[in-house]
Amino acid sequence: MDVAISTLLSPIILFFMLGMGAALLRSQMTVPEAFSKGVSLYLMMAIGLKGGVEMSKNPLTTEVMLVLLAGIVLSFLIPLLAFVLLRFTTRLGQVDAAAVAAHYGSISIVTFVAATEAVRLSGFESGGHLVAVAALMETPAIITALFLAQRGSAAKAPVAGAEQGELVREVFLNASVVALVGALAVGWIAGVDGTASIQPFFTGLFQGVLCLFLLDMGLNAGRGLRQGWRQLEVATIGFGLYMPLLSASIAAGISLALGLPVGDAALLMTLAASASYIAVPAALRLALPEAKPSIYLTLSLGVTFPFNVTLGIPIYIFIAQAISS
Amino acid sequence: MDVAISTLLSPIILFFMLGMGAALLRSQMTVPEAFSKGVSLYLMMAIGLKGGVEMSKNPLTTEVMLVLLAGIVLSFLIPLLAFVLLRFTTRLGQVDAAAVAAHYGSISIVTFVAATEAVRLSGFESGGHLVAVAALMETPAIITALFLAQRGSAAKAPVAGAEQGELVREVFLNASVVALVGALAVGWIAGVDGTASIQPFFTGLFQGVLCLFLLDMGLNAGRGLRQGWRQLEVATIGFGLYMPLLSASIAAGISLALGLPVGDAALLMTLAASASYIAVPAALRLALPEAKPSIYLTLSLGVTFPFNVTLGIPIYIFIAQAISS
Amino acid sequence: MDVAISTLLSPIILFFMLGMGAALLRSQMTVPEAFSKGVSLYLMMAIGLKGGVEMSKNPLTTEVMLVLLAGIVLSFLIPLLAFVLLRFTTRLGQVDAAAVAAHYGSISIVTFVAATEAVRLSGFESGGHLVAVAALMETPAIITALFLAQRGSAAKAPVAGAEQGELVREVFLNASVVALVGALAVGWIAGVDGTASIQPFFTGLFQGVLCLFLLDMGLNAGRGLRQGWRQLEVATIGFGLYMPLLSASIAAGISLALGLPVGDAALLMTLAASASYIAVPAALRLALPEAKPSIYLTLSLGVTFPFNVTLGIPIYIFIAQAISS
Amino acid sequence: MFTRKRIELIIERMAYKRAGRILEEAGMTGYTVLPALAGFGNGNKWSRDTDISTSTDMVVMISIGDEARVTASLEKIAGLLGNHIGVVSVSTVEVLRPDRF
Amino acid sequence: MFTRKRIELIIERMAYKRAGRILEEAGMTGYTVLPALAGFGNGNKWSRDTDISTSTDMVVMISIGDEARVTASLEKIAGLLGNHIGVVSVSTVEVLRPDRF
Amino acid sequence: MFTRKRIELIIERMAYKRAGRILEEAGMTGYTVLPALAGFGNGNKWSRDTDISTSTDMVVMISIGDEARVTASLEKIAGLLGNHIGVVSVSTVEVLRPDRF
Ligand SMILES: Nc1ncnc2c1ncn2[C@@H]1O[C@H](COP(=O)(O)O)[C@@H](O)[C@H]1O
Ligand SMILES: Nc1ncnc2c1ncn2[C@@H]1O[C@H](COP(=O)(O)O)[C@@H](O)[C@H]1O
Ligand SMILES: Nc1ncnc2c1ncn2[C@@H]1O[C@H](COP(=O)(O)O)[C@@H](O)[C@H]1O
Ligand code: NA
Ligand code: NA
Ligand code: NA
């Protein structure tokens, strides 16, 4: 448990709480969008490079392949579970339920990064290929969600022609996928020696930059919560809290089946539990404009993200230890 | 004196002069607002963390408490002195005089940071709690100034209702206060070990980032001066040069009374001498919209800031040495 | 040749290719303008400082002077050659030909930076004064081009009065000139000791930041090419590929004549071969608004820049080795 | 001076490319997109610096053209706005170079 | 098409929230705020990138609504502009969905 | 309310200072410049985040003034637009403080 404490008292989380507190107190403080976009690009390049370099160290095993596959499957299936739960427990309509489901099938790279730090702090290793898993889990959920949203309703395919291409590019070539996968490839190709000269920037500064970014995330999460919570019924907020635990347990089962080491298991669980708030919303504004951002954004950014970053991650690490012993 | 020289020839100051020169030569060079806002956020987090970590090393002494108190008192009283001087020596009206006074009672965090570097260069220590003093000195001056501006004039309270809350948040929860106090708390809680992993970012890069920021400050100060000096009578410009010295001497007296070490004394003097150009202007646009930014901004940013950063700081350090021996 | 390979597989180039690929695949990924402007400011300050510090180590020799002179001459004359070639081989009119010529006489600082890295990777030294050469080569080409554009045509002088001053400032005091020359001066004055405390920021992070910037450059180059290539006839695109080689060979001749060391020769060739896409376009929008940006920007950014960064630089280093042995 | 119509479309950032295609197809000779900073509508406030998934950002599209083309594009625009939140308004302006629009 | 009024308010960034409250109270159904980059007035020039205390920044607020509400809000707006520097102008526009405004 | 003219100038960033001088000389009391994000014209699209030499950026200049001055400035503006790409349009607006313009 003192792992949990030390995680909660790490500067990263403290800065997140600072931001969240300031937002809830309605401070006008903001981080310019252009700046935080640049910072998040840095984070994705750094995490991608790290993963690629580590993957370059040892060949692709079938285990690795299985984890990648597991990630894709999770991203495809979690939305189904989420959708059913939402339809039965909340008053959300088909489209909004499908939209929310997409977010929980996809991932939050910042949550993932916070988890890697926590795993490190707890003294465990984690494989570089988990970054690849993260990248692979971003998009399948969107496809499931679009299917769920049209299901039954003889609605015209939402998008066609130029729209189609626009959407496909947004889904498969959005900034985070390109940066993650691209940096992963660069790290893989350049390897340890090739990336030595750029490590001071991408590794040395990583935790520090993360503090700055999580301060901003806290501001965003806090504002999202303050502005949006009225739109959410209790059942929906509840979903934002138990769904991560559900997804994590499924991932725990898979980790057990695959016999993943503690670190990898914790990260896979975190990925399953985390909800997207950048890639998926953007894609859904194109594909499901009828879905209300005030619902899915508030839920994933205002409820689930804070939960995962503070309580969730320690729990997942704890479970990962339990199952792997 | 060679301390002064070495300060003046440090890259930080040289870059400031570069920016100021470019602006006076009417170069079109600019640093994007979003970027420099991000950089200044970094600087405030870094300085806050530094202070917090140092404070975590040794318990709060009464001396520390007294310095904090001194800072607050200075911020409350300096505006009174400034107001009287302005009313007697310049043609500024009540409102503009009060507005200018607010700026000189408050502080410039960049000047403070430049001073800490100069103190370090001069081979002196400074206590982390001075950062707390800086944070505490930001706002009291605004309250004094609002009182001075209304005084006599049976004017309606400037703001009420929603306005009221907006102003209060702007005054007590503006970005710099949140970042400074917040980072201070984080540093205090996390301590030396907890912040070890983020030091490369927040400590290692500090001086370098400061160069970049001071280049931008130079551009701003130079442009402010070039565009605004016509609006200032000689007496007002004079005020921008002697007021810092006055405030510094008062702070020197207090330092002597409290028997502060050289470094702390120099920094307290710098805080007293420095004038705000971010927090206070923003607050005054809300509370005293009648006051002319072209006057108070030009004076604090175009006259006093350059003076402090170049000549002022070495003088304050010099005096601090004198009194403490 | 394995030097060429190792250059092509260095993270810097890989990230450039990533960006270019993403753009050609029409990914929507972008780096916010404000952020990349800030990053490029950092790069210019860093390269300027580096050069200045190295120049501070040893006195100005006549050889250094001669190289500076050579750079200026190249920047003045290359546009003449480029203009003639364009007029004879392409359908470009006088004004557009002159505009394009200006870009090839001037330089691309990013290409220069990439070359310094490649030279370092290849195990050669390069003199700090090459940075000064880069700064000096930025503007003369513009003057030649304006002369070429007016030549014959009894056209009114393009700009006068306030316009005149605006243009002169844009040409001689644009951001890159100020940052480069200014940082060079700072490095020179502060020297090795004075800049020690800012090295972690300006030197330690350099390669890493460069990766981030080249990712952005790749996106820009790719988009420029994708959107603009239709406007270019084959002959013009050809010019964008052989002109660098021509300019480089002229520079090679000069290097041979001056007996420059390999590193310096390679960099001088790179400067000659590189084409501007920031300073010159901005100046030409003021001085030659009739010239079509879609032509000169596509050519210098979409064709020549990628060529130089990938194939060109290794070639120039190879030639530099050849002539200096 | 010649009379033309000016469409002003306040629409989500994610949708402006679609609106652009509609205007293009309707024969409008050009448009300009301005970023919005904040806004209010339907009782909801938004602000650019507080939405990381900039998906709720609004932009303002300005397009000047002749009445016929403007009317032509408006129907399709209305359709687009059926899905995406946004506001469209049309005003009358005078231009110097009629051939341009 | 239906006729509505369009308020265009050029006002300091620090004051736009107040203007927004005024518009809201007057019953306007929405507004959009655009950042300005630079400007000139009273012989003073300002530019966003050269004022660190972004307190002299201007923004442009656009709000479309029916004449009655617009008139109602204008008085209060005028009061606000008494303190804060800024400019207000009203023009006539045509909209598609009258119920919206 | 008093009737005035509103010039809206869509022009390259690099040229707005020149346009500003023209407006100033023509006696316009002020103008405001808004950054554009993207645009389309002559079959070319541009977008701010994809042009490092921000030289093809457009800005939108708004200037409100009385008819006489507006007409006076328009000729020179037209001349400027002869060189620089851009679009100018004029509309009629109502203002509160006539003395201001
Ligand atoms: N009809 C129009 N309406 C609005 N903006 C336009 C129009 N035509 C051109 N523009 C803007 O002016 C820029 C240059 O257009 P052009 O001069 O046609 O190349 C375009 O990229 C648009 O931003
Ligand atoms: N009457 C209006 N005038 C100007 N902008 C509006 C208006 N109504 C809505 N908007 C803008 O459109 C966005 C979405 O509004 P709504 O579709 O009502 O949710 C708002 O956030 C505003 O930016
Ligand atoms: N006539 C005008 N047309 C457009 N914008 C204006 C006008 N007058 C003032 N402004 C804007 O309002 C700001 C303040 O102007 P002023 O209140 O005259 O100091 C200026 O910097 C401009 O951005
Ligand atoms: Na998930
Ligand atoms: Na002070
Ligand atoms: Na060249």
- Asked whether the beta carbons of D70 and D23 are under 8 A apart, the reply is no
Q: E3: how many CB neighbours lie within 10 A of its CB?
A: 11
Name the band, by pLDDT with cuts 50, 70 and 90, for residue A3: low
Determine the pLDDT at residue A154. 54
Determine the pLDDT at residue C322. 95
Q: Which atom of ligand 3 is nearest to the CA of E38?
A: 23
Q: Taking CB atoms and an 8 Å limit, are E32 and D42 in contact across chains? A: no
Nearest 5 degrees, angle CA C304-CA C305-CA C308? 80
Distance from the Cα of A307 to chain B's closest Cα (Å) equals 20
Cα distance between residue B101 and residue B279, in whole Å: 14
Q: Which atom of ligand 1 is nearest to the CA of D62?
A: 4
- Does C15 have pLDDT greater than 80? yes
Cα distance between residue A163 and residue A157, in whole Å: 11
Averaged pLDDT, groups of 10, chain B, 325 residues long: 75 95 94 92 95 93 95 97 97 96 96 95 93 95 94 62 83 90 96 94 95 95 89 94 98 96 97 94 90 92 96 96 88
D63 in ligand 1 pocket by Cβ < 6 Å? yes
Distance from the Cα of A266 to chain B's closest Cα (Å) equals 22
- Asked whether the beta carbons of B28 and C188 are under 8 A apart, the reply is no
Q: Taking CB atoms and an 8 Å limit, are A26 and B169 in contact across chains? A: yes
- Residue of B40, B219, B279 lying closest to E50 (CB–CB): B219
Check CB contact of D9 with chain E, cutoff 8 Å. Answer: no
Averaged pLDDT, groups of 10, chain F, 101 residues long: 96 93 95 96 84 81 96 92 88 92 85
Cα distance between residue C146 and residue C162, in whole Å: 18
A59 CA to middle of ligand 2, Å? 54
Residue in C9, C13, C17, C18 to test binding to A, most A beta-carbons within 10 Å = C18
Determine the pLDDT at residue A58. 87
Q: Taking CB atoms and an 8 Å limit, are B27 and C169 in contact across chains? A: yes
Q: Which atom of ligand 2 is nearest to the CA of E62?
A: 4
A8-45 confidence digits (pLDDT tens): 889 999 999 999 999 999 998 999 999 999 999 999 99
- Residue of F21, F50, F55 lying closest to C220 (CB–CB): F50
Choose the weakest-confidence range: A221-230, B272-281, D1-10. A221-230
Q: Taking CB atoms and an 8 Å limit, are E93 and D36 in contact across chains? A: no
B270 CA to middle of ligand 5, Å? 8
Distance from the Cα of A165 to chain B's closest Cα (Å) equals 32
Q: Taking CB atoms and an 8 Å limit, are A36 and D45 in contact across chains? A: no
Cα distance between residue A3 and residue A5, in whole Å: 5
Check CB contact of F25 with chain C, cutoff 8 Å. Answer: no
Nearest 5 degrees, angle CA C9-CA C13-CA C15? 110
Q: Which of C229, C225, C228, C251 is nearest to C312 (CA)?
A: C251
Q: For residue C32, give the chain A residue with the closest CA.
A: A34
Angle between helix B62-89 and helix B94-105 axes, rounded to 10 deg: 150
Amino acid identity of residue B325, one-letter, is: S
Q: Taking CB atoms and an 8 Å limit, are E55 and B32 in contact across chains? A: no
Residue nearest to atom 8 of ligand 2 (CA): E30
Query: What region does B114 belong to: left with phi over 0, alpha with psi -120 to 50, or beta?
Result: alpha
Residue nearest to atom 17 of ligand 1 (CA): F85
DSSP C61: -
E3-31 confidence digits (pLDDT tens): 999 999 999 998 999 999 999 999 999 99
Q: Taking CB atoms and an 8 Å limit, are F32 and E42 in contact across chains? A: no
Q: Which residues pair with E38 in a beta bridge?
A: E47, F33
A269 CA to middle of ligand 4, Å? 9
Cα distance between residue A17 and residue A9, in whole Å: 10
- Does C59 have pLDDT greater than 60? yes
DSSP E99: G
Stretch 275-314 of chain B: residues touching chain E, C-beta under 8 Å: 277-282, 284-286, 289-290, 293-294, 297, 301
Q: Which positions in chain F touch C216 (Cβ < 8 Å)?
A: 52
- Does C1 have pLDDT greater than 70? no
Query: Token pair for residue A210?
Result: 């993360």
Query: Token pair for residue F66?
Result: 């009385």
Q: Taking CB atoms and an 8 Å limit, are C35 and A33 in contact across chains? A: no
Check CB contact of E6 with chain B, cutoff 8 Å. Answer: no
**Does the predicted TM-score (pTM) go above 0.90?**
yes
Distance from the Cα of C208 to chain A's closest Cα (Å) equals 4
A282 CA to middle of ligand 2, Å? 19
Check CB contact of D48 with chain F, cutoff 8 Å. Answer: no
Distance from the Cα of C3 to chain A's closest Cα (Å) equals 13
Q: Taking CB atoms and an 8 Å limit, are D90 and E91 in contact across chains? A: no
Sign of CA dihedral B232, B234, B236, B237: positive
Choose the weakest-confidence range: A227-231, C96-100, D66-70. A227-231
Q: What is the mean pLDDT of residues C60-64?
A: 92
List Cβ neighbours of B196 (8 Å cut-off, separation of 6 or more). Answer: none
B151 CA to middle of ligand 6, Å? 66
Pocket test for ligand 2, best of D10, D48, D54, D58 (most atoms within 8 A of CB): D10
E29 in ligand 2 pocket by Cβ < 6 Å? yes
Cα distance between residue B7 and residue B114, in whole Å: 10
Q: For residue B170, give the chain E residue with the closest CA.
A: E14
F31 in ligand 3 pocket by Cβ < 6 Å? yes
Residue reference for tokens 């804070």:
A306
Look at residue E6 and give its three-state secondary structure.
strand
List Cβ neighbours of B124 (8 Å cut-off, separation of 6 or more). Answer: B261, B262, B263, B266, B317
DSSP B303: I
Query: Token pair for residue A182?
Result: 């691209």
C223-281 confidence digits (pLDDT tens): 989 988 888 999 999 999 999 999 999 999 999 999 999 999 999 999 999 999 988 99
Please give the sequence-ordered ranges of beta strands (E in DSSP) within chain D, or none if there are none. 2-12, 30-35, 38-41, 44-47, 58-65, 86-95
Query: Token pair for residue F15?
Result: 């040229």
Q: Taking CB atoms and an 8 Å limit, are F14 and C285 in contact across chains? A: yes
Pocket test for ligand 2, best of D54, D85, D91 (most atoms within 8 A of CB): D85
CA C294 to chain centre: 19
Cα distance between residue B224 and residue B237, in whole Å: 13
A243-265 confidence digits (pLDDT tens): 999 999 999 999 999 999 999 99
B68 CA to middle of ligand 4, Å? 47
How deeply is B89 buried, as exposed, middle or buried, from its count of CB atoms within 10 A (0-12, 13-18, 19+)? middle
- Asked whether the beta carbons of F38 and F46 are under 8 A apart, the reply is yes
- DSSP assignment of B33-72: HHHHHHHHHHHHHHHHHHHHHHHHHS---HHHHHHHHHHH
C182-221 confidence digits (pLDDT tens): 999 999 999 999 999 999 999 999 999 999 999 999 999 9
Mean pLDDT of chain A: 92
Name the band, by pLDDT with cuts 50, 70 and 90, for residue E100: confident
The ipTM (two decimal places) reads 0.94
- Residue of B10, B25, B32 lying closest to C190 (CB–CB): B10
Residue reference for tokens 């970027």:
B35
Check CB contact of D29 with chain A, cutoff 8 Å. Answer: no
If residue D90 lies in a helix (H) or strand (E), which one and from where to where?
strand D86-95
Determine the pLDDT at residue B157. 54
Task: Give exposure, C296-309, as e/b (b: 16+ Cβ within 10 Å).
Answer: bbbbbbbbbbbbbb
- Asked whether the beta carbons of A127 and A263 are under 8 A apart, the reply is yes
Check CB contact of E8 with chain D, cutoff 8 Å. Answer: no
Nearest 5 degrees, angle CA E24-CA E27-CA E29? 75
Look at residue B202 and give its three-state secondary structure.
helix
Q: Taking CB atoms and an 8 Å limit, are F31 and E39 in contact across chains? A: yes
Q: For residue A36, give the chain D residue with the closest CA.
A: D52
Determine the pLDDT at residue C110. 94
